[in-house]
Structure 1
């Protein structure tokens, strides 16, 4: 069933319902490079992941444009409970694993050059980075089996602590200086990624340690969600090394690094420079759609399970991906995530495109943004703000 009768208006149909199946093309791209190379003789297809994510999707995104449709209130419950949408995320995982296994076989082959193996590892890593997004969707659910599947999805990237930090750390501290995953105005992506990786791990461990202590348990126990997730990575990588040999180890590590780096660059894009208002008691106002960058480009949304409707996700983290809405009050990115990731890789271009948008989002008042502390004075001067007056305010 793909339509529902809404009182007082014509029957509403979810026009994107079967488009979500296209999201499975992404993990499929880790499975098919070997066949493309075999049939065409072109080794460029070992790099299919970067070609898809950074060339094809941005171009098609630009041509297709925005979505613009939101689910009506009366259809929300029906759409949330439709299990078709859940299976789109469930099926992502076996395809992801199949791609890694095929890649392991190819990495062990003496027929591939080192450059070809690096290209395949990059492809698998980028697909695994998108797989973290599937884990992100599953990890927000209350159903126990979906939360376990989230940990499974994180095994390939060795980023199991994300399960804890994202839900209980990032969502609590987003768009504040306390959040390692919220980029600051003036911060380059190359500075942000290591800060977010290290800070996210520290935060996750402390959160899980505190949770277990409240339950009267030790941090180093089988009840630790981080250790559970990491143990899945150990088992997965151990099995891959046992089957295909130790020569694949560098490529296993490379694809994991590419995967979690992809996640962190997306984090950089999602909250760059945004800051929630701080109350007199030191707390921050409740998270709203204004505290995340939004993009409603249809194609990238389909491939990333509506992740670009990030403003609604943070304002309503319990909503399933198919019910997320685009918001007019949210700050809008000029392009989809795939394009914005490319811009982020070139800091001067990124700042030319984004810095003025951040400041304009706060009515031209740069003091209301999440400023990088060591560049604060320079940024204030660039916008004609006296540092002493800003400090006094």
Structure 2
């Protein structure tokens, strides 16, 4: 049972959240297929613009890789932190949590709609002669995959909370991307080992996103299994149990995909797998840039120092923060994991990315550009001493030869 205070029992402050209504934009990602996609496809086909009618199926990549980065440039950083005296009231204002709850039905409505469109033989109501082209199906799978990827971030927000309902909603949100084990690994693994070589979700200096991806995906799976196995052993239960939350999370995905294939046909399966890979790859792209090259130092006892604001890359660009529930205020999140998104604050002294997450993801996809932008920032963060960074072991000698002279 939750021990959170009821908003009605706390006096409303004079301060008001200037972003209160902006948070509604966070629902645009799962609702965009209904609000923008279908009406635009219908209109273009009615007008005879057959070529343009294919574009809305790619609404997800257009939003994440084009619209949000451009909006971040024009609107810029936020910089508005809630004052201390309003934190309790703001934390318990249920309006904010209801927005995260609402993401899930919209997420799954978009998934079901996409499954129907991908497999339908007759789409005359959209003025489409027959079914979709393969390119449209791929675009639609990528779009719902991106919706599911942003849904993983929603699951991240919900999974840290003490309310049991929210933890269950987190697992449901993760089922679409087949990444239910993230609930275990992130909370019990990443938050303990962040910014250390032992953490599969902390990228290393000299490590490209394409080298990081298989390491973090496999590392997250194996770490979550070990963590859950150890938990069950403490209760006298083996890992092959109905109480294993990793197995139950994966079972939710199997049941979901099985039900969708039973309704829409087995031909849907490749597209379900594609959207799942797109979804969790978007998450891992965010993981890649959140702690790149940052390292907690060893104390004289041999333990790592406590995680601090200096161990997370931050960005306060307003638009991306609205779509990702303040995820870019990452130092505050690691300091206060259960703190709700509306109360997260920017930290003085935390290292900052030169752009919002959406823009930095694009850079991560192009390793030479990423290294050109981020390697000097890591070096500057450690005052020129590259040996204090989290360096990819396979490239350590190369990195030291390149940057060691500046130490």
The answer (yes or no) to whether the contact 1:222–1:228 under 8 Å persists in 2 is yes
Q: Deviations over 1:24-60 (max 9, x none)?
A: 0011124452332122231111000010111011111
CA distance, structure 2, for counterparts of residue 227 and residue 180 of structure 1? 20
Matches within 5 A, 1:42-121: 42-110=53-121, 111-121=131-141
- Aligned position for 1:251: 271
- Aligned position for 2:371: 351
Superposition deviation, residue 385 in structure 1: 4.2
Q: Does 1:39 align with 2:43?
A: yes
The 4+ residue runs of structure 1 with deviation greater than 3 A are 3-6
- Aligned position for 1:366: 386
CA distance, structure 2, for counterparts of residue 88 and residue 218 of structure 1? 38
Q: Does 1:130 align with 2:133?
A: no
Q: Does 1:321 align with 2:346?
A: no
- Aligned position for 1:145: 165
- Aligned position for 1:330: 350
Moved more, 213-222 or 236-245: 213-222
- Aligned position for 1:17: 20
Tell me which of 254, 262, 270 is aligned to 1:242. 262
The answer (yes or no) to whether the contact 1:121–1:252 under 8 Å persists in 2 is yes
The answer (yes or no) to whether the contact 1:37–1:45 under 8 Å persists in 2 is yes
CA distance, structure 1, for counterparts of residue 377 and residue 303 of structure 2? 26
The answer (yes or no) to whether the contact 1:4–1:75 under 8 Å persists in 2 is no
CA distance, structure 2, for counterparts of residue 28 and residue 212 of structure 1? 39
CA distance, structure 2, for counterparts of residue 35 and residue 13 of structure 1? 36
Tell me which of 297, 306, 314 is aligned to 2:317. 297
TM-score (norm 1): 0.95
CA distance, structure 2, for counterparts of residue 385 and residue 215 of structure 1? 53
Q: Does 1:215 align with 2:235?
A: yes
The answer (yes or no) to whether the contact 1:29–1:127 under 8 Å persists in 2 is no
Tell me which of 272, 282, 299 is aligned to 2:302. 282
CA distance, structure 2, for counterparts of residue 35 and residue 251 of structure 1? 23
How many residue pairs were aligned?
383
Q: Which runs of 5+ in 1 are unaligned?
A: none
CA distance, structure 2, for counterparts of residue 282 and residue 201 of structure 1? 27
The answer (yes or no) to whether the contact 1:121–1:254 under 8 Å persists in 2 is yes
Q: Deviations over 1:283-321 (max 9, x none)?
A: 111111111000000010001000000111012112111
CA distance, structure 1, for counterparts of residue 93 and residue 343 of structure 2? 11
Q: Deviations over 1:129-179 (max 9, x none)?
A: 000000000000011111011000000000000000000000000000000
- Aligned position for 2:128: none
CA distance, structure 2, for counterparts of residue 260 and residue 30 of structure 1? 20
